[in-house]
Amino acid sequence: MIRILTVAAAAAMLVAAPASAQSMKVAVTGKTTEQLHVDIAKAAKKVCNRAVVGASFPREMYAACYKATVEAAVTKANDPALAAAAGITLASR
């Protein structure tokens, strides 16, 4: 079982400087699906706020960063309940 989920913004695609990519770890153990979703959202907000500093279009970049970051973290967790809480459909294999 995954105990820590890393939330990472794909800031290299959104911001010109590749070195500005950020990540943050979110503890998973002992949390409900809703608590985990809230923690992922908070981490994505922090990571994306840092990623868009100095950007030409920060609002648009923030929105795209936040959406992509939450989707990536939920997909990485591969938990159907978490995906449902986030409003994301996981790809079936």
Tens digits of per-residue pLDDT, 27-64?
A: 888 999 999 999 999 999 998 988 888 888 888 889 98
pLDDT at res. 21: 63
CA 70 vs. chain centroid, Å, equals 3
Structure pTM? 0.76
Q: Is the pLDDT of residue 16 over 90?
A: no
For the record, the structure tokens of 71 come out as 């989707």
pLDDT at res. 45: 92
Q: How far, in Å, CA of 59 to CA of 75, rounded?
A: 24
